[in-house]
Amino acid sequence: MNKWLILIVCSFLTITAQGSENCFLATENGKIIKQEGECTKRHSPFSTFKIPLAVMGFDAKILKTPLEPELAFTPELRQQLGDLFQPNKYPIMKFHEKVQTPTSWMQYSVIWYSQEITKHLGKDNFIAYINKFSYGNKDVSGTPGKNNGLSHAWLGSSLQISPIEQVEFLEKLSKNELPASKNAQQNTIQIIKQEKIWDDWQLFGKTGGSYQTGWFVGWIEKGDRRIIFAQYIEADNLPISAGRIAKEIVKDNLISLIT
Protein backbone atom coordinates (compact mmCIF):
# COMPACT_ATOMS: atom_id res chain seq x y z
CA MET A 1 0.00 0.00 0.00
CA ASN A 2 1.48 3.38 -1.01
CA LYS A 3 1.81 6.40 1.24
CA TRP A 4 -1.32 8.04 -0.17
CA LEU A 5 -3.51 5.04 0.59
CA ILE A 6 -2.06 4.68 4.07
CA LEU A 7 -2.93 8.30 4.80
CA ILE A 8 -6.44 7.83 3.48
CA VAL A 9 -7.04 4.69 5.56
CA CYS A 10 -5.74 6.41 8.69
CA SER A 11 -7.96 9.39 7.97
CA PHE A 12 -10.99 7.14 7.48
CA LEU A 13 -10.39 5.70 10.94
CA THR A 14 -10.11 9.15 12.49
CA ILE A 15 -13.27 10.37 10.77
CA THR A 16 -15.25 7.27 11.68
CA ALA A 17 -14.22 7.60 15.31
CA GLN A 18 -15.24 11.27 15.51
CA GLY A 19 -18.19 11.34 13.18
CA SER A 20 -20.65 13.68 14.94
CA GLU A 21 -20.76 16.32 12.19
CA ASN A 22 -20.16 14.05 9.21
CA CYS A 23 -22.69 13.52 6.43
CA PHE A 24 -22.97 11.60 3.19
CA LEU A 25 -26.06 12.26 1.13
CA ALA A 26 -26.94 10.94 -2.33
CA THR A 27 -30.07 11.42 -4.41
CA GLU A 28 -31.31 10.09 -7.73
CA ASN A 29 -34.32 11.50 -9.57
CA GLY A 30 -34.92 13.81 -6.62
CA LYS A 31 -35.15 10.98 -4.08
CA ILE A 32 -32.68 10.18 -1.32
CA ILE A 33 -30.99 6.85 -2.02
CA LYS A 34 -28.41 7.01 0.77
CA GLN A 35 -28.03 9.21 3.83
CA GLU A 36 -25.55 8.86 6.66
CA GLY A 37 -24.95 11.32 9.48
CA GLU A 38 -26.16 14.85 10.16
CA CYS A 39 -27.11 16.38 6.81
CA THR A 40 -29.26 19.36 7.84
CA LYS A 41 -26.67 21.38 9.76
CA ARG A 42 -25.08 24.26 7.88
CA HIS A 43 -21.35 24.78 7.47
CA SER A 44 -19.08 27.15 5.59
CA PRO A 45 -18.95 26.06 1.93
CA PHE A 46 -15.29 27.04 1.47
CA SER A 47 -14.17 26.20 -2.07
CA THR A 48 -17.36 24.36 -3.02
CA PHE A 49 -18.71 27.90 -3.38
CA LYS A 50 -16.69 28.16 -6.58
CA ILE A 51 -19.50 26.23 -8.28
CA PRO A 52 -22.24 28.86 -7.75
CA LEU A 53 -19.64 31.59 -8.20
CA ALA A 54 -18.77 30.19 -11.62
CA VAL A 55 -22.43 30.32 -12.63
CA MET A 56 -22.56 33.95 -11.49
CA GLY A 57 -19.35 34.81 -13.33
CA PHE A 58 -20.41 33.24 -16.62
CA ASP A 59 -23.93 34.66 -16.36
CA ALA A 60 -22.60 38.19 -15.75
CA LYS A 61 -20.10 37.81 -18.63
CA ILE A 62 -17.14 38.26 -16.27
CA LEU A 63 -16.06 34.76 -17.27
CA LYS A 64 -16.15 34.37 -21.05
CA THR A 65 -15.29 30.72 -21.76
CA PRO A 66 -13.71 27.87 -19.77
CA LEU A 67 -10.34 29.32 -20.85
CA GLU A 68 -11.08 33.05 -20.64
CA PRO A 69 -10.27 35.41 -19.10
CA GLU A 70 -6.65 34.74 -18.27
CA LEU A 71 -5.67 36.60 -15.10
CA ALA A 72 -2.16 37.04 -13.71
CA PHE A 73 -1.09 36.93 -10.06
CA THR A 74 0.21 40.34 -8.97
CA PRO A 75 1.97 41.72 -5.88
CA GLU A 76 -1.25 43.58 -5.09
CA LEU A 77 -3.20 40.32 -5.09
CA ARG A 78 -0.56 38.72 -2.87
CA GLN A 79 -0.95 41.52 -0.35
CA GLN A 80 -4.73 41.31 -0.55
CA LEU A 81 -4.70 37.59 0.31
CA GLY A 82 -2.72 38.03 3.52
CA ASP A 83 -2.85 34.88 5.65
CA LEU A 84 -5.03 33.13 3.07
CA PHE A 85 -1.93 32.57 0.94
CA GLN A 86 0.17 29.86 2.64
CA PRO A 87 1.96 27.80 -0.05
CA ASN A 88 4.19 26.12 2.53
CA LYS A 89 1.16 24.78 4.41
CA TYR A 90 -0.96 24.18 1.30
CA PRO A 91 1.42 23.10 -1.51
CA ILE A 92 -1.30 23.39 -4.16
CA MET A 93 -1.10 27.15 -3.65
CA LYS A 94 2.22 27.16 -5.48
CA PHE A 95 0.11 26.89 -8.62
CA HIS A 96 -1.84 29.99 -7.56
CA GLU A 97 1.03 32.27 -8.59
CA LYS A 98 0.61 31.30 -12.24
CA VAL A 99 -1.69 32.83 -14.86
CA GLN A 100 -5.17 31.42 -14.27
CA THR A 101 -8.20 30.61 -16.43
CA PRO A 102 -11.68 29.59 -15.23
CA THR A 103 -10.65 25.95 -15.69
CA SER A 104 -7.40 26.23 -13.72
CA TRP A 105 -9.16 28.37 -11.09
CA MET A 106 -11.52 25.49 -10.43
CA GLN A 107 -8.85 22.79 -10.71
CA TYR A 108 -6.37 24.42 -8.34
CA SER A 109 -8.96 26.16 -6.14
CA VAL A 110 -7.47 29.62 -6.59
CA ILE A 111 -8.81 31.97 -3.92
CA TRP A 112 -7.72 35.24 -5.52
CA TYR A 113 -9.50 34.40 -8.80
CA SER A 114 -12.73 33.95 -6.83
CA GLN A 115 -12.20 37.33 -5.21
CA GLU A 116 -11.62 38.97 -8.59
CA ILE A 117 -14.99 37.61 -9.75
CA THR A 118 -16.85 38.93 -6.71
CA LYS A 119 -15.06 42.28 -7.00
CA HIS A 120 -16.27 42.65 -10.59
CA LEU A 121 -19.77 41.49 -9.65
CA GLY A 122 -20.04 44.11 -6.94
CA LYS A 123 -21.90 43.84 -3.66
CA ASP A 124 -25.42 44.38 -4.99
CA ASN A 125 -25.15 41.85 -7.83
CA PHE A 126 -23.43 39.35 -5.53
CA ILE A 127 -26.27 39.56 -3.02
CA ALA A 128 -28.85 39.36 -5.80
CA TYR A 129 -27.38 36.13 -7.18
CA ILE A 130 -27.15 34.56 -3.71
CA ASN A 131 -30.82 35.34 -3.16
CA LYS A 132 -31.88 34.13 -6.62
CA PHE A 133 -30.04 30.86 -6.07
CA SER A 134 -31.42 30.64 -2.51
CA TYR A 135 -27.94 29.52 -1.52
CA GLY A 136 -27.76 28.26 2.07
CA ASN A 137 -28.44 30.93 4.69
CA LYS A 138 -27.88 33.68 2.06
CA ASP A 139 -25.70 35.64 4.51
CA VAL A 140 -22.80 37.30 2.71
CA SER A 141 -22.13 39.94 5.36
CA GLY A 142 -18.73 38.44 6.16
CA THR A 143 -16.82 38.65 9.44
CA PRO A 144 -18.47 41.04 11.91
CA GLY A 145 -16.75 44.42 11.91
CA LYS A 146 -14.47 43.69 8.94
CA ASN A 147 -16.67 44.59 5.96
CA ASN A 148 -15.23 41.64 4.01
CA GLY A 149 -18.34 39.83 2.81
CA LEU A 150 -17.51 40.33 -0.86
CA SER A 151 -14.13 38.62 -0.47
CA HIS A 152 -14.47 36.27 2.51
CA ALA A 153 -18.13 35.38 3.19
CA TRP A 154 -17.71 31.77 2.02
CA LEU A 155 -14.33 31.20 3.73
CA GLY A 156 -15.23 30.09 7.25
CA SER A 157 -17.36 33.20 7.70
CA SER A 158 -21.03 34.21 7.45
CA LEU A 159 -22.22 32.15 4.47
CA GLN A 160 -23.32 28.66 5.51
CA ILE A 161 -24.95 25.76 3.68
CA SER A 162 -26.08 22.25 4.62
CA PRO A 163 -25.36 19.06 2.67
CA ILE A 164 -29.06 18.84 1.78
CA GLU A 165 -28.97 22.38 0.40
CA GLN A 166 -25.80 21.60 -1.55
CA VAL A 167 -27.58 18.68 -3.21
CA GLU A 168 -30.66 20.78 -3.98
CA PHE A 169 -28.49 23.44 -5.67
CA LEU A 170 -26.53 20.86 -7.66
CA GLU A 171 -29.72 19.11 -8.77
CA LYS A 172 -30.83 22.36 -10.41
CA LEU A 173 -27.42 23.02 -11.96
CA SER A 174 -27.17 19.51 -13.40
CA LYS A 175 -30.49 20.10 -15.19
CA ASN A 176 -29.71 23.70 -16.25
CA GLU A 177 -32.57 24.86 -14.03
CA LEU A 178 -30.88 27.63 -12.05
CA PRO A 179 -32.06 31.24 -12.60
CA ALA A 180 -29.12 31.94 -14.91
CA SER A 181 -28.40 31.49 -18.60
CA LYS A 182 -28.10 27.97 -19.97
CA ASN A 183 -24.66 28.88 -21.33
CA ALA A 184 -23.49 29.92 -17.85
CA GLN A 185 -24.62 26.63 -16.37
CA GLN A 186 -23.12 24.52 -19.16
CA ASN A 187 -19.76 26.30 -18.91
CA THR A 188 -19.78 25.72 -15.15
CA ILE A 189 -20.52 22.04 -15.66
CA GLN A 190 -17.62 21.85 -18.10
CA ILE A 191 -15.08 23.25 -15.63
CA ILE A 192 -16.17 20.98 -12.77
CA LYS A 193 -15.91 17.86 -14.93
CA GLN A 194 -13.40 15.44 -13.42
CA GLU A 195 -12.24 11.89 -14.06
CA LYS A 196 -14.28 8.82 -14.90
CA ILE A 197 -14.64 6.46 -11.97
CA TRP A 198 -16.19 3.05 -11.36
CA ASP A 199 -17.61 1.34 -14.47
CA ASP A 200 -17.08 4.41 -16.67
CA TRP A 201 -19.27 6.78 -14.65
CA GLN A 202 -18.38 10.44 -15.27
CA LEU A 203 -17.60 12.46 -12.15
CA PHE A 204 -18.38 16.17 -11.71
CA GLY A 205 -17.59 18.00 -8.50
CA LYS A 206 -15.58 20.28 -6.26
CA THR A 207 -13.72 19.82 -3.01
CA GLY A 208 -13.53 22.43 -0.29
CA GLY A 209 -12.48 22.94 3.31
CA SER A 210 -9.38 22.95 5.48
CA TYR A 211 -7.35 20.45 7.47
CA GLN A 212 -10.26 20.10 9.94
CA THR A 213 -13.36 20.36 7.75
CA GLY A 214 -13.93 19.05 4.26
CA TRP A 215 -16.49 18.91 1.48
CA PHE A 216 -16.82 17.06 -1.76
CA VAL A 217 -20.00 17.83 -3.68
CA GLY A 218 -21.14 17.05 -7.20
CA TRP A 219 -22.66 14.23 -9.19
CA ILE A 220 -21.89 11.20 -11.33
CA GLU A 221 -23.68 10.26 -14.51
CA LYS A 222 -23.79 7.46 -17.04
CA GLY A 223 -26.41 7.01 -19.73
CA ASP A 224 -29.73 8.24 -18.38
CA ARG A 225 -28.70 7.93 -14.70
CA ARG A 226 -27.44 10.78 -12.53
CA ILE A 227 -26.62 10.59 -8.82
CA ILE A 228 -26.16 13.88 -6.93
CA PHE A 229 -24.07 13.79 -3.74
CA ALA A 230 -22.63 15.83 -0.90
CA GLN A 231 -20.04 14.69 1.61
CA TYR A 232 -19.08 16.75 4.67
CA ILE A 233 -16.50 15.69 7.25
CA GLU A 234 -14.93 17.10 10.39
CA ALA A 235 -11.88 15.66 12.10
CA ASP A 236 -8.81 16.88 13.97
CA ASN A 237 -5.16 16.55 13.00
CA LEU A 238 -5.68 15.20 9.49
CA PRO A 239 -2.46 14.51 7.55
CA ILE A 240 -3.87 15.97 4.31
CA SER A 241 -6.69 18.35 3.43
CA ALA A 242 -10.10 17.12 4.51
CA GLY A 243 -11.54 17.89 1.08
CA ARG A 244 -9.27 15.34 -0.56
CA ILE A 245 -10.31 12.77 2.01
CA ALA A 246 -13.99 13.61 1.48
CA LYS A 247 -13.58 12.88 -2.23
CA GLU A 248 -12.18 9.42 -1.54
CA ILE A 249 -15.02 8.69 0.89
CA VAL A 250 -17.54 9.69 -1.77
CA LYS A 251 -15.98 7.43 -4.38
CA ASP A 252 -16.09 4.56 -1.89
CA ASN A 253 -19.74 5.26 -1.00
CA LEU A 254 -20.79 5.46 -4.62
CA ILE A 255 -19.73 1.89 -5.40
CA SER A 256 -22.77 0.41 -3.68
CA LEU A 257 -25.09 2.81 -5.50
CA ILE A 258 -24.04 1.95 -9.04
CA THR A 259 -23.55 -1.82 -8.83
Q: Active-site residue 104, yes or no?
A: no
Query: Cα separation of 133 and 93, whole Å?
Result: 29
- The 10 Å CB-count burial string (b at 16+, else e) for 8-25 is beebbebbeeeeeebbbb
| Catalytic position from the list 47, 104, 157, 158 | 47
Amino acid at 3: K
Residue 69: cis peptide before it, omega within 30 degrees of 0: yes
- For 244, half-sphere exposure in the C-beta direction (CA atoms, 13 angstrom radius) is 16
CB atoms within 10 A of CB 62: 18
Catalytic residues: 47
